[in-house]
Amino acid sequence: MDIFEKVTRPSFAREAQAKGINPYFHALESRQDAEVTMEGKRRIMLGSNNYLGLTVNPEVMEAGVKAVERYGSGCSGSRFLNGTLELHLELESELAAFLRKEAVVTFSTGFQSNLGIVSALVGLGDYVVCDRENHASIYDGCRLSYGKMLRYRHNDMEDLEKILQSVPATAGCLIVTDGVFSMGGDIADLPQIVRLAKQYGARVMVDDAHGLGVLGEGGRGTASHFGLEKDVDVYMGTFSKSLASLGGYMAASADVADYVRVNSRPFIFSASITPASCACALAALRYLKKHPELVARLDALSTYARQGLAARGIKARASQTPIVPIYTYEIMNTLEKARAIYDAGVYVNPVLPPATPEGECLLRTSYMASHTEALLDEAMDSIAGAMLGA
């Protein structure tokens, strides 16, 4: 059998392409902003993770330009060898202080962060316990480790406790959860997770990719939101969302950070974050520290959008974050609605299995502190018109 036989099999992607409703790989012709030019037309961007709107911030962009002028375009090596810049150390130090942890380790991408953290910390004979709706990178990190992965029903603390009861008392155990779930926009029940972890001798890791800049004091994330910063052992996050750059990080104790630096294959064998990406992330972090009101503005706009969608008869999933999913249920209906909304001048993200369960497809809308109420009203009117024929 030809290994390439699978690439020509019928699929819903091919069917969508034939119908002209394939929603993927639309090309941007402008900056990532509240309004963009995409395939020759103005679109209101409701599909970005640029939560604080800092990708076009002058201070952030200038920092990237200056870093290229000083350090060049790349590092040409891993952090483990020749690829550590003083800029990396500066970013790690300031981010650790902001997150109130002893140390930070940076990775080349957010995806690699989860690969590198989980695979380093979970060894042979250990257990890693995951929420079923965790990000794909967490699952791949579990597969890369030598431990045993167990999954509990989404945010179901009774199910989590049953699973923890099955873990041998002699085994190491790491509970891993998204802080803010990337597709549904809901928040992990961190107080109960921490309580159960203490009861059963487990450690806690929170993927806060969508929590940083969104929740907590000054945007410090999910643990801060619940007042549990001292109780979460490991934070993971990305620079590609609120911090308007590219890369990822782990925040933890100095001992954990030192261990991961010399045991994480994705960290050791990957080139380090480019100078421009590092400088932009650091500038965005400093801007956030100077302007914590951005977090409150983001929350207010997200509430405005949730209420506005409901007032227009659009059924959205309950959320306390800038991620507001609209129910569409079936695959083709989702693709058709996404296309109609796109043609009406608004970009949203269609979310299909395996990112959602079968029959629970949705349109993921997300909001930025740089949106305005007028812009959101225009977008929501267009969404209602496309979905309801208004």
Catalytic residue positions, numbered = 182, 210, 241
371 SS3 class:
coil
Peptide bond preceding 354 in cis form (omega within 30 of 0)? yes
Beta strands in 103-230 (DSSP E): 103-107, 127-131, 148-152, 173-178, 203-207
Residue 158: CB atoms within 10 Å: 10
Q: For residue 352, how far is the Cα from the chain centroid? A: 17
Euclidean distance between CA atoms 329 and 326, whole angstroms? 9
235 SS3 class:
strand
Euclidean distance between CA atoms 334 and 12, whole angstroms? 12
The full DSSP string for 92-131 is HHHHHHHHT-SEEEEESSHHHHHHHHHHHH--TT-EEEEE
Rg (CA), the chain: 21
Backbone angles phi, psi at 295, to 5 degrees: -65, -45
First to last CA, the chain: 52
Euclidean distance between CA atoms 296 and 215, whole angstroms? 9
Structural contact between residues 361 and 328, judged by C-beta atoms closer than 8 angstroms: yes
Q: For residue 309, how far is the Cα from the chain centroid? A: 23
**Buried b or exposed e, range 180-199, using 16+ CB within 10 angstroms:** bbbbbbbbbbbeebbebbee
